[in-house]
Structure 1
């Protein structure tokens, strides 16, 4: 009697063209074909995204393969397995029945197995007198043999892609490390250049790199970072060559590099000298200054410019201010060593306030690094407080606001148009007291 192999699923399941294609593929398996089932399964695991399989469906496929008694799958052997749902659920680590049926459908849809349903939907095998299997109803594993080479090629492509992504990420890490350290070296060694612009360009490139970025995006970011790396390195190399030539021409032996790049620029503009003198006059007796810390809100009122550097454009906590001034530091040309010494002498919070104030008046300060070192030295001597700096900024903003209102012809404070800057009466009295000279008391 001729055996009939069903091509349609049992029950309400419909037949699709994809299932027809899988059945056609299963019939192309040559009788002499032999594959190692666990090796093919490993290739399927590696290429599961390309095949459309899921982790749960692979757990079921692993269970189905375990029901075949032989390790080698051959085209001449019977490749239909007929475990019950209970047996499959047990070998799939107790997977629920509904989940089992859903992921069996995934395996069929991926073309990794073919359903061979019986007339009543049961899975079983009918054996002949000699014990050989005459008819089996269940799941046919023939597509695994037929597609073994295709699956292997997909797995190799996935491995090559992963390797390329790993190499690209390694290159990205090296470029980021080189650029950051070259910027710090340029500032530390006082190499002429707009290091603030380089730092800003670097930040703009890195912000375009999300977590879990794809390889094309990583390659694009690496290409842009490489251009910045070349530009930065050329600046450092050109400066190094110039220094070496100057040393050779002067016949003075080895070039002596100053480890303190800001020391030769301690002279600042008239503004810095005037402010330093004013700060000295107001901080001769530091004990007279308020004992409490400056509120964050007052610091931000005095230094609104640093808010633009914060992540998300908001500063809600002191740690947000610390993050913002870390970005401002290279833009001001302050070396890592000067910033480190300031934090050690003043503390993290006070150093951040000081740097925010310097950033607010960056256009009036000729050498921010030297100015910060000067304030750091005063802090070591106990003669520096951030209160006078912040109060001076607030007073300057208040004077500018009043001058603007006066220019508009307002004769009474209650009739002035809002200027966007408000100061409490208590703070106004405090500002007045701190702005008086000693002879005015």
Structure 2
């Protein structure tokens, strides 16, 4: 007698048109087609969002595939019939109710087909020779039928991930280049206007840069990041053009007969400004710098400071992992804000090196609301001399405003 293959699920589970379509596609497949089950599984894992299946459901599919004895999925013998207990063990001890829910999800996604027995149990009938003649369980035929579809989806996902990675790298490089070129332009006194056109000063360039960077979300698709990357690339080209034109003008204005030239170090070493010079001879009397303090004296945690003033990271060379990196970055930002060396020295004398640097980072964070960074720093310095200034409330206010902005977003 010829056996009949069930097409409807046992019990109250309904039969949907999607189930009928999956069964029809599985019935129409050629028995000679063979696919590597783990290659198909990896493709499904890659394209899981497009398929609409969760990680837990994939763990159940992984367990089901392990009950198929062969690596290749081919032929008509593609029904696996493990008990819920054995399937739960191979799914890392998944609870029975959770297991049933994810099995239903795999069926709804068209990854497996139910072949239920009359009483809903999973088992196989064997012939006299020991071969399986009829099995009731889960049919893996859709994995063979849709293998090419899953691979195509996985390729699309991998291509999209690569494109997203490239645009993120482009944004990161542009941000680094623009920040450093702006700092160089300020240090070198490069003019930003040419023939009456262009931004008024480097502060305007920096504001334009911050406006573009401020539109970068934490998580966004490639389509949203590509226009921002294009804007940053154009801004980087314009800033580089300003520096190159300044260099050309400087070279043309040079004269062979001039023997004395103004020398300005365009790449100053921040460490020389952060540490006092040591005497070269034991007998030399050198007056120590006023109020040189330990880097960690009366300082707040570095992580808390960076959380309150994240804009400083845009000007860091290789990131900020310690206070020395923090101070080196502040030496780049300070002239960009228009703070004179005298105002900086007075602030260091009144507050200490680290706390004065934290104030600079806070001023950078609130640069859009401060008209004169140098005047604001001198005002804080006078308050510090009179013991009327505390750094804690300033940091707490910055942290509070960032957290409120995040909640509002």
TM (norm. structure 1) is 0.63
Deviations, residues 207-242 of structure 1 (Å, cap 9, x unaligned): 111212221122121011112111111111111111
Q: Structure 2, unaligned stretches of length 5 or more?
A: 193-200, 268-307, 311-326, 387-409
**1:144 positional shift:** 0.4
Paired residue for 1:54? 54
- Are residues 388 and 161 of structure 1, via their aligned partners in 2, closer, same or farther at CA, if it must alter by over 3 Å? closer
Paired residue for 1:106? 105
Paired residue for 1:87? 86
Paired residue for 1:68? 68
Deviations, residues 129-174 of structure 1 (Å, cap 9, x unaligned): 2222221110000000111111111111111111111111111111
* SS at structure 2 position matched to 1:69: coil
**1:192 positional shift:** 1.9
* SS at structure 2 position matched to 1:209: coil
- Pick from 211, 218, 226 the counterpart of residue 225 of structure 2: 218
Q: Structure 1, unaligned stretches of length 5 or more?
A: 262-308, 312-321, 376-383, 392-441
Paired residue for 2:132? 133
- Pick from 310, 330, 338 the counterpart of residue 333 of structure 1: 338
Cα distance in 1 for residues equivalent to 2:248 and 2:20: 73
- Pick from 200, 204, 211 the counterpart of residue 197 of structure 1: 204
Q: How many equivalent residue pairs?
A: 316
Paired residue for 2:17? 17
- Does the 8 Å contact 1:342/1:351 carry over to 2? no
Equivalences for 1:371-390 in 2 at 5 Å?
Answer: 386-387=381-382
Cα distance in 1 for residues equivalent to 2:11 and 2:342: 78
**1:341 positional shift:** 6.4
Cα distance in 2 for residues equivalent to 1:362 and 1:64: 66
**Which shows bigger deviation, 219-228 or 326-335?**
326-335
**1:327 positional shift:** 12
**1:254 positional shift:** 9.3
- Does the 8 Å contact 1:57/1:104 carry over to 2? yes
Cα distance in 2 for residues equivalent to 1:223 and 1:230: 11
- Does the 8 Å contact 1:187/1:334 carry over to 2? no
Paired residue for 2:282? none
Cα distance in 2 for residues equivalent to 1:132 and 1:106: 31
Match status 1:42 vs 2:42: yes
- Does the 8 Å contact 1:35/1:148 carry over to 2? yes
Cα distance in 2 for residues equivalent to 1:11 and 1:147: 28
Cα distance in 1 for residues equivalent to 2:114 and 2:42: 22
**1:6 positional shift:** 1.5
Match status 1:349 vs 2:355: yes
Cα distance in 1 for residues equivalent to 2:370 and 2:179: 25
Cα distance in 2 for residues equivalent to 1:259 and 1:108: 69
**1:387 positional shift:** 2.3
* SS at structure 1 position matched to 2:253: helix
Equivalences for 1:291-440 in 2 at 5 Å?
Answer: 332-334=337-339, 346-350=352-356, 386-387=381-382
- Are residues 326 and 122 of structure 1, via their aligned partners in 2, closer, same or farther at CA, if it must alter by over 3 Å? farther
- Are residues 32 and 253 of structure 1, via their aligned partners in 2, closer, same or farther at CA, if it must alter by over 3 Å? farther
CA radius of gyration, larger in: 1
Deviations, residues 247-270 of structure 1 (Å, cap 9, x unaligned): 1x4643696442389xxxxxxxxx
**1:338 positional shift:** 8.5
* SS at structure 2 position matched to 1:4: coil
Cα distance in 1 for residues equivalent to 2:17 and 2:380: 80
